[in-house]
Amino acid sequence: MNIKHMLLLISTKQKKKVKDAFNALDNLDVFFQTLTLEYNTRLYPRESLIIFDEIQKFLKARETIKYLVADRRYDYIETGSLISIKENVQNITIPSEERKLQMYPVTFEEFMVYMDEEILLDYIKECFENKKPLDREMH
């Protein structure tokens, strides 16, 4: 997977047009165009990652993932509460494409390294050790 672009969608505050798009998946070109327009984000085939956040709150999206994965244009991640995901499965087909991953939190330092911000991290550490405030621009 060579992800260059991400689009975060499907949260509790989802737009009506996006929710409606999940009920008209007979034309995936229109579906993806709706996402692009509603989120003002370009999608690039085989380079974009679409994240379904709080998937347990929008079961239609969870059920739809099977068709989206089969289309192979983009990659997907579903996030949500494991307890709610296990409970909210009545009347939907659970996609066989789902793989569960145990996720763990990262420290601020790990996050900064991942974001390739080691220089800023060194500056923050130096300020902390010297009990000096960060420059306003860096804060």
Paired with 9 in beta bridges are 52
Please count the structural domains in the chain. Answer: 2
Q: Are residues 69 and 125 in the same domain?
A: no
Q: Are residues 87 and 125 in the same domain?
A: no
Instruction: Report pTM.
Output: 0.59
* Domain finish residue from 67, 83, 99: 99
Its domain, for residue 108, covers 104-139
Q: Are residues 27 and 67 in the same domain?
A: yes
- The single residue listed with the structure tokens 């409970």 is 87
pLDDT tens for 94-138 read: 555 666 667 778 899 998 998 889 999 999 999 999 999 988 887
Q: Are residues 128 and 71 in the same domain?
A: no
DSSP code per residue over 45-104: TTTEEEEETTGGG-HHHHHHHHHHHHH-SSEEEE---HHHHHHS-TTSPPPTT-------
Which tokens belong to 106? 């990262």
Residue of 103 and 26 predicted with greater confidence? 26
For residues 43 and 74, is the Cβ–Cβ distance under 8 A?
yes
Q: Are residues 76 and 108 in the same domain?
A: no
